[in-house]
Structure 1
Amino acid sequence: MNEKDFAELAAGAALDALSPDDQQRYHAALAAHPEWQSIVDADADSAGFLADGVAQAVPSPDIRAALLARIAVTPQSGDVVLSDSAPDSMPDPAPGETADAAPVADSAPAARDGDDAPKAPAHRLRFLFALAACLALLVGVGAGAVAINTYINRPASVVALEDIQAAGDAQQASVSLESGGTATAHWSASLGKSVLVTDGIPSLAEGKTYELWYVRGDTPVSAGVFAADDGEATAVLAGEMHAGDVIAVTVEQDGGSPSGLPTSDPVVVIPTA
């Protein structure tokens, strides 16, 4: 991932608008390129400025009067009144209708001339207020649900990486790959967790996968397999990390080494001591 692509993800992260996949790519890229933290900080400052820099707008008192006047003359049959003024005369009410609408309509122009606004029937106002409240509730619940869903559905590797970075004894080490990419191990001895973040690791042929290992002395312990998407991966190592373990990666067949031992030379070797 280049700096331009990361800047786009950082802008989305500042607005809390990244998908789970993009959030994983964002964290992986930041872990591999800590020098891009300045981009993250700048976007966070910009988002805060946009949120705090908008002055609260006070609506004009005329808006309420005009709204109530329009409500008062709006038929309840579903028809829409397009005219900006009430008609000079009202037609005779149809059989079954009341003549209450005419006096209400006559009061509408007075409201537009600045006089007291007419009061719409209470049941109409209750309906409109309830509708507005429901819309506000739906918008709030919808936005909150998206944010909660995004947070809950974070990949396990991203959760583990965040836990490690928040630990008081968090450590990391990076190595360069033959392909020109980098691999960074993050670990916390107190948590017994470690995560490997790669950027620019080669894609493998069909039927092959990367396998993670904890190497304790001369004993390799399998820690799971992972695949790289366009050279990028954030993989949490399975099992508990021990102080002094070496984190290694080999290329194995799909599903990992059948013998439980590495079958190829490691492509990544990162000591943690």
Structure 2
Amino acid sequence: MTIRPDDVALMTGSYATDAVDAVERAAVDAAMAASDPVRAEVDSLHETALLLAYAVEPVEPPRDLRAALMAKIATTPQLPALPVEDAQGGSSVGDLAAAAPGSAQSVAPQPVAREARHAAVTDVTAAPAGTASGNARVRWFQRPARVVLAAAAAVAVIAGGTLGIQSLAEHETGPGQGQVQASTKLDQIYAAADFQRASTTVKGGGTATVVWSDQLRKSAVIFKGVKAAPAGKTYELWYIGSSITPAGLVGSVDGGTTSAVLSGAKAAGDTIGITVEPAGGSKQPTTKPIVAVPTSA
């Protein structure tokens, strides 16, 4: 299987949600090693998928989800093949075949109305046939059912949460193969065998989701819908146990979705606290916590 450079550009989203096969994964890995922008894009998509997955309450997927998808695949007709044009952008094979055999008269290519030629697939073939983007669009709709299932899994990542680190492709590749690769501290927490999460409302609006792993001694906080700290203030994270230990600041809070991995090592049973502190943070809390999430069993 030969993968073109333009294919790799279309695979970053699938790679980020672990919806690629071994060959495609190797191609994206190579592209990331050679291009910082590609790596940055994959990291951004990966992080966004995880944030969206765990910033909402888990939802149990319907038992018949996979069966329904397979039924749709079995009953959905394939699109007809597109006309093949010559390298110079001239007439299609169908146009040439229409010329009378044996005719010595020069036959100029007869343009076919784009609306007629692509009537059933107008939105799919916005780029001219034969161009890299056009061919890439066509290849997408010729991909096997495995990719359809993987795409559905990516939607489930955003909508459900429960499927955040495991795609429907796992049914075909075996347990564990559908897990998102742990490449950052946040990913490592999500992939941990003892991964846990808890959500709570934030005083002033929004929610905070705490995720943690006692085995890794790591934790993280995901803000959703939380307003920026007042001018001259910042949100500070704390491990609260036998002592209170500062664990970093949460930056770039703007009412959207923001994550922060706590610094230091989490002890079993620690409470994760968040306070509003002067810019730069404090050595000890100076205000009451706006969030306090126990992690004890």
- Report the counterpart of residue 99 of structure 1 in structure 2: none
- Report the counterpart of residue 78 of structure 2 in structure 1: 55
* Structure ranking higher in helix proportion: 1
- Report the counterpart of residue 268 of structure 1 in structure 2: 291
The whole-number CA distance in structure 2 between the counterparts of 1:208 and 1:249 is 13
The whole-number CA distance in structure 1 between the counterparts of 2:223 and 2:238 is 15
Note if 1:33 corresponds to 2:33: no
Note if 1:199 corresponds to 2:197: no
- RMSD between superposed Cα atoms in Å: 5.1
Q: Unaligned 5+ residue runs, structure 1?
A: 1-12, 72-83, 87-103, 110-131, 144-156
Count of residue pairs brought into register by the alignment:
189
**Bigger CA radius of gyration:** 1
Shift of 1:214: 1.1
Note if 1:244 corresponds to 2:269: yes
Does structure 1 conserve the Cα–Cα contact (< 8 Å) formed by 2:16 and 2:45? no
Does structure 2 conserve the Cα–Cα contact (< 8 Å) formed by 1:211 and 1:223? yes
Following TM superposition, the consecutive aligned residue runs of length 4 or more in structure 1 with deviations greater than 3 angstroms are: 13-30, 35-39, 45-54, 56-61, 66-71, 134-140, 157-162
- Report the counterpart of residue 221 of structure 1 in structure 2: 245
The whole-number CA distance in structure 2 between the counterparts of 1:51 and 1:223 is 52
Give the aligned residue type for 1:244. G
The whole-number CA distance in structure 1 between the counterparts of 2:44 and 2:266 is 26
Give the aligned residue type for 2:271. V
- Report the counterpart of residue 31 of structure 2 in structure 1: none
Q: 1:30 to 1:215 in 2, by over 3 A?
A: same
Shift of 1:168: 1.2
TM-score by length of 2: 0.47
**Among candidates 276, 281, 288, match of residue 256 of structure 1:** 281
The whole-number CA distance in structure 2 between the counterparts of 1:179 and 1:208 is 15
Shift of 1:208: 0.9
Deviations 1:158-211 (A, max 9, x none): 943433222211111222333343222110111222111222334322211101
Write out aligned runs for 1:105-116 (5 A): 106=104
Deviations 1:121-160 (A, max 9, x none): xxxxxxxxxxx6x9489959xx9xxxxxxxxxxxxx9943
Q: 1:53 to 1:176 in 2, by over 3 A?
A: same
Give the aligned residue type for 2:276. V
Q: Unaligned 5+ residue runs, structure 2?
A: 1-12, 18-40, 108-129, 141-181
Does structure 2 conserve the Cα–Cα contact (< 8 Å) formed by 1:24 and 1:158? no
Does structure 2 conserve the Cα–Cα contact (< 8 Å) formed by 1:203 and 1:231? no
Does structure 2 conserve the Cα–Cα contact (< 8 Å) formed by 1:69 and 1:108? no
Q: In structure 2, the residue corresponding to 1:190 is in which secondary structure?
A: coil
